[in-house]
Structure 1
Amino acid sequence: MIKLKKAIPKKEETSKLVEGRVLEIIHKIRKEGDHALKEYNILFDGCERESYQITQEEIQNALKEVKATTIEDLRFAAKNIEEFAKRQKEMFKHMEEQEVMQGVFLGHKAMPVNSCAGYVPGGRYPLPSSALMSIIPAKVAGVKRIVTCSPAVKDTKSIHPATLAAMHIAGANEIYAMGGSQAIGALAYGTEQIKPVDMIVGPGNQYVTEAKRQVSGVVGIDFLAGPSEVVVIADATADPRIIAADILAQSEHDPQARGILLCTDEKVGKDTIKEVENFLKDLPTAAIAKEAWENNGEVILIDTLEEAITLSNKLAPEHLEIQVENEEKVVPKLINYGSLFIGEGAAEVFGDYVAGTNHILPTMRTARFTGGVWVGTFIKVVTNQRVTKEGLKIIGPVASRLGALEGLYAHKLAADVRLK
């Protein structure tokens, strides 16, 4: 294994400052409610709203302001995301009571959470695609109350019109102009104007992520996500220009984003580095993408595809692209990734926007134990049991003995009174 392009080693950075600041913000939101929310809205976004909920008039104005082609594109993407979510939901079925042994009947129900919130980041550019990705699966799952929020455009009172249009198209019930860790606190604990929700999903900066960590347990969350990342596995048949473009598509997200190429062909690896440098000359987002590429990008020459597969499974990337001649031999061996893109035509950006799979995905190796947001994120499977007198005779004595074994004598009692 040879590194044709290395990442710069990172210094260990403490997160105590972020943790403490977020703790302070959430505490103040819990204590002061809307008053604190207004204070932080002004402090961080210059947004002086008295009512945080977006009105129907604001939504209609946004729809008029956004280009017709953009509305069409958002509806096209929304339709694909919804269709895939509907097909995913088909795997969730109620299991009616089944007699697993004489007199013991077990079953389960798959039911949606009652309420959820989709956090949509703001920042340098609008991210309407994230609104579609968090709201539509929840809607398909059957969530009754779907809330969403995003910070107002800096020094204004409103969310970016494209994001607002996407929230409306996706089917949100309530939309709020607020962002940052204060928004997460308001959604988790509620304020005078905002009822708390049962679950919060969606990406965000380090403050949003830390806030989700701190409120986890009070509400459900999807996962804690970090900077975006892509790993590409390639052989001699791969196109360096396509690989370079896909690496830069991740790199432009954030200076901390990572683009990694694992290739079995030295020429493909070196040509990819050249193509990245060529693209950066004219890329409008070159300032961010170049920093991410120079600091975090890697091109690793691998002896065999088997070695690439092993390393990829260890990295457990958010996005994983396969650009090799014999895809069918590689794909079954890949076990850790957020979303998989098979073949040259499957651009990761299609997953970001329009293919129908979700782009809210696990990062920082968490794909080892979780997948991304999907319709199942919003569905809980709950069990039920019914025991007849015949069943009681079979399982009652066993439960009584196990209760005594564990020193839980009220457990034993609960079994014994039924047996008598």
Structure 2
Amino acid sequence: MMKILKKAQERTEEDRKELSRMVQEIIDNVRGNGDEALKEYSRKFDQCERVSMRVSKEEVREAYMQLSPQEVADLKAAASNIQAFAKAQRETVKPLENFSPMPGIFLGHRIIPVKSCCCYVPGGNYPLYSTALMLIIPAKTAGVERVTACSPVMKGTGKINPKTLAAMDIAGVDEIYAVGGAQAIAAFSYGTEEIAPVDMIVGPGNRFVTEAKRQCYGQVGIDFVAGPSEVLVIADGSGTPEIVAADLLAQSEHDVNAKGMVVTTDEAFGKAVMEAVERELEQLETADIARKSWETYGEVVVVSDLDEAVNLVNEYAPEHLELNVQNPDALIPGLCNYGSLFIGENTAEVFGDYASGTNHTLPTLKAARYTGGVWVGTFLKTCTQQSMTPEAMRNIAPLVSRLADGEGLKGHRQAADIRFTSQK
């Protein structure tokens, strides 16, 4: 019997109509007025007076000068792991040639990178320079010819955070633009005088960015529509409450809408985690955000056994899933809905956030039911092809003619029949 020790507040549907209207207005303005609209929003939202949104090589050099040698080395070390895993993933995606379902018919597919993409790197509460690595490196590894990146400026400065700029450069970006928000999504979707449009936009953002991606989808490809960050921990009571508490608060500090959840078979452990959260909040520098997030959306649930835990997790489909249990391998085959999996107490979710090599741009709000996170394959198209011999054509044409006729599509039938009759 499931028991809830701490219940999360239900997420209320935001005023979607008003948000949709505001974002549509921004998109229309950018489509109609191009760079002038972007500059208007930059002045309004970021107190930015940049003449050109394109970041120069000189600005990138200046950014490196503001970083310590250790900071640069750390970015390069994280980039190395991310790139190594991306290359390994790329090697698993292969073309297929000359598959024959019947004699004389040859089927296959090619793996083709998208031509261009924009990697949206948030500014927001924190400069998420790690996201620059997570988006740009897989795109470059996939073979995207033109990889652009954008990020909001630090308010009042007219410049992107120097660590974010360095991360973009280390990742191998081709173009960088100092612009953010829904207006950036519109610019890269439809193009302006300075910004050429792209084929795909990836990366997280606030609700305006998310809504803009939703509205521009179709004009441009997107990774997915992402919401607030989530972590769920399955625990059997064998772990350390303070470690679980730290992982919950690591997500909770993202923003006040983030969610941390524990599903445990041990009620005493669940209570110990809640107590450990309160102790850490007393000394956590980001406690203002983390406390509000935890109090509003934190959840601790006690279940009768690990099978029930697995069923609950698959229903919830969390972004990050941690297995803090004695025998995690026994649970893995039953788990099918999650963004990324962290196996065992040694494997902190934050390791994946920064440097272990897997991607941290992951599906939220139950999107893990139908998609995984950003990876090399996000930027690849699998495009099929076929060819056939005259004999194979004569064999298949009557079948296709009958199938087309059954649907009432006489033009389809004729396209099959004419080949059959002309080859007799």
TM-score (norm 1): 0.99
Secondary structure at the counterpart of residue 33 of structure 1: helix
2:283 maps to 282
1:149-197 Cα shifts (integer Å, max 9, x gaps)? 0001101111000000000000100000000000000000000011100
Q: Distance in 2 between matches of 1:19 and 1:69?
A: 43
Shift of 1:406: 1.2
1:198 maps to 199
- State how 1:400-419 maps to structure 2 within 5 Å: 400-419=401-420
2:64 maps to 63
* Deviates further, 193-202 or 100-109: 100-109
- 2:380 corresponds to 1:379: yes
Q: Distance in 1 between matches of 2:100 and 2:323?
A: 46
Secondary structure at the counterpart of residue 117 of structure 1: strand
1:232 maps to 233
Shift of 1:5: 1.3
1:141 maps to 142
Shift of 1:67: 1.7
- 2:67 corresponds to 1:105: no
- Does the CA contact (< 8 Å) of 1:46 and 1:155 recur in 2? yes
Residue type at the aligned position of 1:277: E
Q: Assess, with a 3 A threshold, how the Cα gap between structure 1 residues 107 and 183 changes in structure 2: closer, same or farther.
A: same
In the alignment, structure 2 segments of 5+ residues that lack a partner are none
- State how 1:98-247 maps to structure 2 within 5 Å: 98-247=99-248
Q: Distance in 2 between matches of 1:417 and 1:47?
A: 65
Shift of 1:15: 1.1
Shift of 1:12: 3.7
Residue type at the aligned position of 1:295: T
2:49 maps to 48
2:270 maps to 269
In the alignment, structure 1 segments of 5+ residues that lack a partner are none
Q: Distance in 1 between matches of 2:295 and 2:100?
A: 61
Residue type at the aligned position of 1:155: G
Shift of 1:100: 2.7
- Does the CA contact (< 8 Å) of 1:261 and 1:269 recur in 2? yes
- Does the CA contact (< 8 Å) of 1:97 and 1:108 recur in 2? no
Q: Distance in 2 between matches of 1:366 and 1:52?
A: 33
* Deviates further, 322-331 or 333-342: 322-331
Secondary structure at the counterpart of residue 101 of structure 2: strand
2:259 maps to 258
Give % identity: 56
Q: Distance in 1 between matches of 2:186 and 2:4?
A: 43
Q: Assess, with a 3 A threshold, how the Cα gap between structure 1 residues 12 and 109 changes in structure 2: closer, same or farther.
A: closer
Shift of 1:13: 2.9
Detail structure 1 runs of 4+ shifted over 4 Å in the superposition: none
1:277-310 Cα shifts (integer Å, max 9, x gaps)? 0000110100000000000001111110111111
Shift of 1:109: 0.4
Secondary structure at the counterpart of residue 132 of structure 1: helix
Residue type at the aligned position of 1:310: N
Shift of 1:147: 0.4
- State how 1:260-409 maps to structure 2 within 5 Å: 260-409=261-410
Q: How many residues align?
A: 420
1:56-79 Cα shifts (integer Å, max 9, x gaps)? 000000011112111111101100
Secondary structure at the counterpart of residue 335 of structure 1: coil
TM-score (norm 2): 0.98
Secondary structure at the counterpart of residue 48 of structure 2: coil
